[in-house]
Structure 1
Amino acid sequence: MADTAIYTPSRTRYEHMQYRRSGRSGLKLPAVSLGFWHNFGDTGMYEHMKELCFTAFDNGITHFDLANNYGPSAGAAERNAGRIIGEEFASYRDELIVSTKAGYDMWPGPYGDWGSRKYLLSSLDQSLERLGLNYVDIFYHHRPDPETPLEETMGALAQAVHSGKALYVGLSNYDGATMQRASAILDELHCPFVINQNRYSIFDRSIENNGLLHSAEQLGKGLITFSPLAQGLLTGRYLNGIPEDSRIKTDGRFLSESLINEERLQRMKALNDIAQNRGQTLAEMALAWILRDSSVTSVLIGASKPQQILDNIGALENTEFSREELSNIDELSLDQQL
């Protein structure tokens, strides 16, 4: 007989997680959020996806982050997330922050990519259908569109909120100057733009150099970071060679084997030594390094196993760094940027 047990979340789920305000908005996010970029597509096992979500929510991770193109195939992560939310989390919808995005190639023809009003609003309708929801909490433009006027893209985001299909909007992969222009337009449209989503890690300081980090803090906008472990370089998995089951071996789209040269390997080992002296794993220190900055709202983690979620949450136990530690981390990483 099939197991029909209904999921009941832990009663202590809010006791240990930290929640941070997204800029100067009223929205709070958990310091650690669960991303659905990997492991929630057609190639994953549904029961395993549920276990990841259960573990996250049981430990205070209230934010599930998606995009229209997450899979494989595109749309699959939203379909699976929608099924999980509908079957297991329906009673807890008001305790969840569900975000999705549009901006990358999603369907054939001229209306399935980038940042036109046609694409963004059509994509949001499709996302809501896959998710089985009436609204998402945050709707992002996934990347800047160099050809569509910024006023049109921001107007579409505002329409998503004004129509009740999103509560807040965000921008992803914008630089500081473009984000400032977008923010001014959204202010005029009375649209609650509350958060930026950008890549950030010890090995990728792009937002420090393109003005995004400074601009977000200056304007009072939140920041949620993805790829905080540099696609695995900061997990500790590669300190003693490349495992055969690693993503480098099975899927080279996101991390090339050539990146782990001897010099970078020695830097990774030295960073691991700093982490051990702090009583942390390399991954825990890498997450704590991002969260040390009060302008960071949350870090997005991916997970293939429930234990990885628990391990990543462990980073919250120590997010204080000495000046010497920060200086040593910079010395080991600033000339090793990805």
Structure 2
Amino acid sequence: MNIKSSAITVLIASSFGSSAAFVSNGAARMQTKLFVEDFNLDEGNIEPALGDRRNLFKAAGALATANALLPNIASAETPTALQTASSLKLPKMGLGAWAWGDSIFWGYNPKNDNDLKEVFNYAVSKNLAFFDTAELYGIGRSESLLGKFRNESKVKDVQIATKFAALPFRTKSTDVVKACKDSLKRLNPQTGEPIPIDLYQIHFPNAWNNEDYWDGLAQCYEEGLVKAVGVSNYGIDAMRAVHKKLAARGIPLATNQIQLSLLYRYPIENGLLKACEDLDVKVLSYSPLALGFLTGKYNSDVRPSGPRLSIAKKLFDGPDNGEAFNGLISVMKEIASKHGVPLSQVALNWTRSKNTIPIPGARSLKQATQNLGALDWDLTEDEVMALDAASAKVPAYISPDKSPFPKEDINTKLKMFDS
């Protein structure tokens, strides 16, 4: 049975304190009315998803806002695998599935499911079948697609990471466990024993009750629902706190998924990357292509539409009229020409050079082959230095101050987010 919602108005109160929630460029607030047109959802996938429909559509609102800064990853055991503090092995690059099923931000159409299946099968054929999704992506549709593709492929060693949404109406450890079990149902459409989730993460911090979420992660791990646990969008203090709490129960914190690119260097500058390294927490870097601005597609004359337009104005219409950004693109083009590769691979390999695992999205076979092709070569030290110097001159395309994530937990006063 299909639930068709035409122009459903979703209004959710912000749970992020004074932080301005926004879609990709910081423009839309969490309290904005979101219109979901022709939203096709399969009831069988929804019911075990996020609870009743009321909460489900609240989550739909969160999707369009919180998702903008949220990651995409992927993994499988490969010759280039990186060992985490847990038994989980991650490849040097993953594939993100945010756009898989998300009609609000990415204009998903079920007619394109075969394209997504091609991406899935290609990654499997390259032993790089590690996908990052989340319960919010397409309101469970992304997880359902991955579960369907994995089941149809008959390949059991596909690794999938997903994420718990710390939405305002979820405040208990049991909420994490229930959400995890619901994700398991979507990821395991087949009958029989479900395959445990390879990596289960807290998608973003909340303004309160964060320690309860960590207890929920631990319970999921101890019950065998998941093989490893991680966090996303956590700052230095918050990461250290969850690492300590999990360690007390003998559970390693495997990953921290954060934004990092040549246009967003804050995690390097504020020491977050170093803190992750010190704790042996692997970094999954999302938005490594800076929402497309590092692919060479856009310039002062050719600009994106929608919420990304304000980013273009910041990059191209600033005091230097885009001189710094154009300088970075010039360096990237020189390196790309030398290696005979597209600009996107230069951007991805820069994040790899920082000992992180980029997780770019892919909606077509062309995008998947292009992105994963970055693993066929590496930047030289001189090239990394040249990119560092050029990118340091470009103002960050998004400011952490515009983040929808709370700066601290109002109960414990723990600093939660800083980049």
Report the TM-score when normalising by structure 2. 0.67
Give the match's secondary structure for 1:32: coil
Q: Deviations over 1:26-73 (max 9, x none)?
A: 3221212111011444623221111111112112212011101002xx
Q: Is 1:35–1:301's contact at 8 Å kept on the other side of the alignment?
A: yes
Corresponding residue number in structure 1 for 2:61: none
Corresponding residue number in structure 1 for 2:200: 139
Give the fraction of aligned pairs with identical amino acids, expressed as a percent: 25
Matched, 1:120 2:176: yes
Q: Deviations over 1:193-224 (max 9, x none)?
A: 21111111111112113432111111111111
Corresponding residue number in structure 2 for 1:306: 365
**Runs of 5+ consecutive residues of structure 2 not aligned to the other structure:** 1-75, 189-193, 398-419
Aligned match for 1:214, one of 274, 294, 297 = 274
Give the match's secondary structure for 1:19: coil
Matched, 1:322 2:381: yes
Matched, 1:48 2:109: no
Corresponding residue number in structure 1 for 2:155: 92
Residues 225-236 of structure 1 mapped to structure 2, 5 A cutoff: 225-236=285-296
Give the match's secondary structure for 2:359: strand
Report the TM-score when normalising by structure 1. 0.82
Give the match's secondary structure for 1:237: coil
Aligned match for 2:140, one of 61, 75, 86 = 75
Q: Deviations over 1:148-197 (max 9, x none)?
A: 152x2211100001111111101111112211111011000112321111
Residues 14-29 of structure 1 mapped to structure 2, 5 A cutoff: 18-29=79-90
The one-letter code of the counterpart of 1:119 is: D
Instruction: Identify the structure with bigger relative contact order (alpha carbons < 8 Å, sequence gap 6+).
Output: 2
Matched, 1:252 2:304: no
Give the match's secondary structure for 1:101: strand
Q: Is 2:100–2:145's contact at 8 Å kept on the other side of the alignment?
A: no
Question: Compared with structure 1, are the counterparts of its residues 147 and 300 closer, same or farther at alpha carbon in structure 2 (3 Å cutoff)?
Answer: same
Q: In 2, distance between residues paired with 1:24 and 1:301?
A: 23
Corresponding residue number in structure 2 for 1:154: 214
Alignment RMSD, CA only? 2.4
Q: Is 2:175–2:216's contact at 8 Å kept on the other side of the alignment?
A: no
The one-letter code of the counterpart of 1:328 is: A
4+ residue runs over 4 A deviation: none
Count of matched residue positions in the alignment of Structure 1 and Structure 2:
304
Q: In 2, distance between residues paired with 1:254 and 1:277?
A: 28
1:265 to partner: Cα distance: 4.6
